[in-house]
Structure 1
Amino acid sequence: MKPMGTRAQALRWVAASCAAIAAAALMAGCERKVAVEVQAPELPVQTVSGFLEIAGVLDRSGSKAALIEVSPESGDLIAFVFDPDSPLGQRILSQCAPDMPCLVEGVRARPLDSQAPSTVALAKLGFSVSPSAWLGLIDAGAARMESGLEAPQAKVTTRFGEVVIKEDDSSVLLNGQVVVPAPDESVLIVRHASVGGEDVLLLQSGSGTACPALFRVMAVSAQGVQVSPQFGSCSDLVSAVVQTKPNQTEKLVIRMVGFAGPFEPEEEQRKAARQVLEFIYQQGSLTREGKPVPST
């Protein structure tokens, strides 16, 4: 089984890679209409890379779906392809949401011949990345979503100085000066990324089952510090990746699933967990669906 740190790092790397080349990889809509029946060549069934689990970002495109993982050996992107309408596909899709990190246990997969017409056709379906290898999922065990955030920290070094969260009251200091007053709940840093000319930190607060997590974006630059309003669905299943596109300013894309509390009906909990909320931080502005996130 992979160490948790390596898995989280791989999930963030995959998500960032998907975002960075999405514009180039998404083909015209007409290409998605190509009927594809993926046939695995007659190669021995194997447990890929000797691991019993894979951790990747779920990518859905037309008639096929894939889990995009970073190879632990080479660092290359690998696509584990499956039919979303098959029992295996339905089982995975019932537990994982598109564009979110997904962990699947007990994986058996077969390499697909990269030169076969069926595999060549896969590349034209519009997946968000162009993987180095295609594999067909044959069987898998339990699947679940996981967070793609970093291990919580109380101190990070930015290009503009050291950010520290005080242990006694969770106030946030930059170079020894308080920049975020003590909140009502404990705070930790769960993501640190360079976004253009800023160092962007994702601050997580919240605990317990009623609302496990809420967030703020703290941006540090040569001009000073900006802190966003608090936001989130209360879910702690979150990814935050830097998205870079040609001729566009870098941005931090924060995705999380919806949340219904433990006292809500199970159907409401399942329905909420199938929703994906997306927040975008770019040049001092935090938005959702193009609208500024209001102060609470």
Structure 2
Amino acid sequence: MQSMRRRVRLAPSLVVVSLAVLGLAGSLAGCQRKEAEVQAPELPVQTVSGFLEIAGVLDRRGEQGAVFEVSPETGDLVAFVFDPKSALGQRLLSQCVQNMPCLVEGVRARPLDSQAPATKVLGELGFSVSPSAWLGMIDAGDARVESALEEPEMQVKTRFGVVAVQEGDSSVVLNGQTVLSPQEESVRIVRNAPVGAEDVLLLQSGSGTACPALFQVLAVSAQGVQVSPKFGSCSDRVFAVVEDKPNMAPKLSIRMLGFAGPFEPEEEQRKAAQKLVEFVYQQGSLTRDGKPVTSQ
């Protein structure tokens, strides 16, 4: 996935990697540490102002979970192990949503040996990242789902020319030619990524509390331009990631929270915000749950 321009200050970001779902190939080597390190003093509390991509948190028996801190300076991975059944684990799971970025603050942890029972359980899964160190989570502060799109832009350069949103009427042009007619609401480009032979842009519109955000996909290729219907749950907490797997056509997965308007009961708003809504753009087709997306 291309690096994203963060909406919060840059700091170590955390990624919860799938333990029950992904089943990725590769070995989880871990950092070889001396037994004495298991008894090392607790690390000082650190505030994490980055993103957690939660793609599953449990091992196959539901006994262990792990959070991976990715340093933006070095790219090193540090595995923070936690018990999903503990009060900390339950709180983390209740405040974050699977497959969505989450911001977690105030993490406290201590070093673990790579042969400790918890790390052995996780190491048996054999997934594709190899931490440089293992840490056991002791505590963490509040966590909340955040958006992880790029900074909104009015103009971007693609492999096939310049796409620009016009001031005033929010029409969209490619190399000076109109590809999206004037819009009633302002439009911004919030994602620009190569997806196979296409450059795929995510356009965001919408405002206010009733429906903060709707989206359109604009795909540019050597064959021309395609623009999708508007889509979305109305939530503006969104994550768009390119998935390029062997023997499969690449795709852009656009994930967002569910949404219940401000006039709905608070319980309905809370339940909606714990659900994941996912749209997929792949080779000219935009789908939700495998069904084509039509105009709203």
TM-superposed CA distance for 1:137, in Å, is 1.3
% of aligned pairs identical? 64
Comparing 89-98 and 221-230, the one that deviates more: 89-98
1:30: which partner in 2? none
Q: Is 1:4–2:13 an aligned residue pair?
A: no
Q: Is the 8 A contact 2:10 2:49 kept in 1?
A: no
Q: Which amino acid aligns with 1:57?
A: E
Q: Which amino acid aligns with 2:192?
A: H
Question: How far apart in 1 are the matches of 2:128 and 2:277?
Answer: 19
2:109: which partner in 1? 109
What is the DSSP-based 3-state SS (H/G/I as helix, E as strand, rest coil) of the residue aligned with 1:215? strand
2:284: which partner in 1? 284
**Offset from partner CA, 1:144-189 (integer Å, 9 cap, x none):** 1111111111110000000100111110010011100011211100
2:175: which partner in 1? 175
Q: Is the 8 A contact 2:8 2:50 kept in 1?
A: no
Match of 1:43 among 40, 55, 67: 40
Q: Which amino acid aligns with 1:56?
A: L
Question: How far apart in 1 are the matches of 2:254 and 2:185?
Answer: 21
Matched pairs, number = 276
Q: Specify which structure has the higher proportion of helix.
A: 1
**Offset from partner CA, 1:206-252 (integer Å, 9 cap, x none):** 11111111111110000000011111101111101111111111111
Comparing 62-71 and 255-264, the one that deviates more: 62-71
**Aligned positions of 1:88-107 closer than 5 A:** 88-107=88-107
TM-superposed CA distance for 1:72, in Å, is 2.9
2:191: which partner in 1? 191
2:244: which partner in 1? 244
2:57: which partner in 1? 60
Question: How far apart in 2 are the matches of 1:155 and 1:234?
Answer: 24
TM-superposed CA distance for 1:55, in Å, is 2.6
Q: Is the 8 A contact 2:237 2:257 kept in 1?
A: yes
**Aligned positions of 1:205-284 closer than 5 A:** 205-284=205-284
TM-superposed CA distance for 1:47, in Å, is 4.0
Q: Call closer, same or farther: CA 1:120–1:200 in 2, change over 3 Å.
A: same
Q: Call closer, same or farther: CA 1:227–1:69 in 2, change over 3 Å.
A: farther
Question: How far apart in 2 are the matches of 1:162 and 1:95?
Answer: 40
Question: How far apart in 2 are the matches of 1:54 and 1:147?
Answer: 11
2:87: which partner in 1? 87
TM-score, scaled relative to structure 2: 0.84
Q: Which amino acid aligns with 2:41?
A: P
1:134: which partner in 2? 134
TM-superposed CA distance for 1:52, in Å, is 4.4
Residue segments in structure 2 that go unaligned for 5+ positions in a row? 1-5, 28-36
Computed over aligned residues only, the root mean square deviation of the Cα atoms, in angstroms, reads 2.7
Residue segments in structure 1 that go unaligned for 5+ positions in a row? 28-39
**Offset from partner CA, 1:33-60 (integer Å, 9 cap, x none):** xxxxxxx922221147x54445321232
Q: Which amino acid aligns with 2:226?
A: Q
Q: Call closer, same or farther: CA 1:262–1:239 in 2, change over 3 Å.
A: same
What is the DSSP-based 3-state SS (H/G/I as helix, E as strand, rest coil) of the residue aligned with 1:119? helix
Q: Call closer, same or farther: CA 1:47–1:125 in 2, change over 3 Å.
A: farther
Q: Which amino acid aligns with 1:221?
A: S
1:200: which partner in 2? 200
Q: Is the 8 A contact 2:213 2:232 kept in 1?
A: yes
Question: How far apart in 2 are the matches of 1:258 and 1:159?
Answer: 33
Question: How far apart in 2 are the matches of 1:66 and 1:55?
Answer: 15
Q: Is the 8 A contact 1:61 1:125 kept in 2?
A: no
